[in-house]
A and B are shown apart, each in its own frame.
Chain A
Amino acid sequence: MKTILAVAGVVIKELYRRKDFYVLFIVTMLICLIMASVRIFNDDKIIRYLKELCLLLVWVSSLVIAITTTARQIPAERENRTLLPLLAKPVTRTQLLLGKFLGCWLACGIALVCFYLFFGALAASREHQWPLLNYFQAASLHWFMLGIVIAMVLLGSLVFAAPSSNSTICFVVVGGILLLGRHLDSVALTLPEPVRSVFLIIYYSIPHLEFFDVRDLIIHDWPLIHWGYYGLALIYGIGYMVVFLTGASLVFRRQSVN
């Protein structure tokens, strides 16, 4: 475990040395503050459009940070020729992968805390309330979704040739799942065989990231999600993380280091 944490620590340091997070955070803040300064029909209590915009920017920024940070981890080690010296130490390939995964996931978690604190402050400035438990559920589900994405990108970084192609493919896949994942079975029913079966297989095998997108509940002040279902969603997320990390570990074991 110490080895995994040591590798993870290096990844976290890398994130706060790079400028990606700061740029995205400042851009998010600027856009939201400019939009907050707009007064519509002289009513300063209108907030939901602002919450929606802020959460959209948080989601886009977090996905950009998660995918771009993870996609370059293993290829960068290869390119800098530090992978072989690293594995020459008492570090197994699985530990290295888990360390990279944990580092990226924790780094995204830290970024999410900053984003959600800003979101909470922005919402509280007009709503004068702070539904902490709702925000906790939304942020933690968001974080677990990023965990699945990070594990998927880590697997992609071992399969695809370059970080750029891996990032692009992962953005398309994640965007596709978030937009269409819930409706793939409905679409399948309108198609002839064997395309229908292909669509249904995809529907049942993809990670349904839309479970973790509870922005509508936060924007429109819906009550808390039942804790039982919330817990099941987290277990579902962990399940997919394990699947992707196991796949990545199996691929990495068979690859040459150079």
Chain B
Amino acid sequence: MPLSRKVFKMKKLFLYSIVLFGCTLMSCGDDEVPVGTTSEVTLNFTANYGTNMLDSDTQTTHDFEEESTVRFTEFRFFISDVVFTTEEGTDETALIEIDEIDFSRSNMDAKYIRSVPTGKYSGIKFFIGVEAEFNNTKPEEYASEHPLANTASYWLAWNSYIHCKLEGFLDNGTANEIPFSYHTGSDDLLRSVTIPYNITLAADGSFDLDIMVDVEKILYKNDTYWNIEEFPATHNPSNPDDLNTANYIMDNLSEAFKIQ
């Protein structure tokens, strides 16, 4: 190859390099996250009853006390202010503002994919229910796609969103199944959940976090099952029995989560 042509080719290569470098600089504008500072996190909520998958759609029955069984027709609850925590406890990384998780159709309903800054986290924290800031609002204030727009999840008697709905039937061998419907609402019944878990997010990596809620733990505490037959519903906040039941349900629910 003649020298002049070689020189021309090198000049061309140099020019291309400049253009390429310029393009790279331009693509790192203020609006974009620099490559390598985030990791993709998948949060997946599932529901079990003990060691079995909860499947309210197929009318599956689960063992309850003695010879009786329960089956669930509806299980849904709100989560709000979901964050990753750090050991220092000062810096929280927001993941989900608010959503309603609904296991009425299938065991694996809620999957969230988030881009999270890399680093070390000490666990996950969230509220079960609708935080007061939102609980003072009403469904008609939201667009239909918003999780708070669902009128079926708002209850006038509580003047509140329904933090959790657990409905189904108890079969204790008598002629008819006994229906139960636990609806909990009001600011006092909001519960906080913190699950310690060491999480290290590497640059450009991905991380799956499976959070399982055990429905049996909602109805079982201190070696005793909840007396569904005597307390089958919680609809009226001014009724002491209803309020006691609602507290029982929410306390147990807040302790029923674990990372798998």
> Are the chains A and B members of one assembly?
no
Partner-A contacts on B (CB < 8 A): none
Partner-B contacts on A (CB < 8 A): none
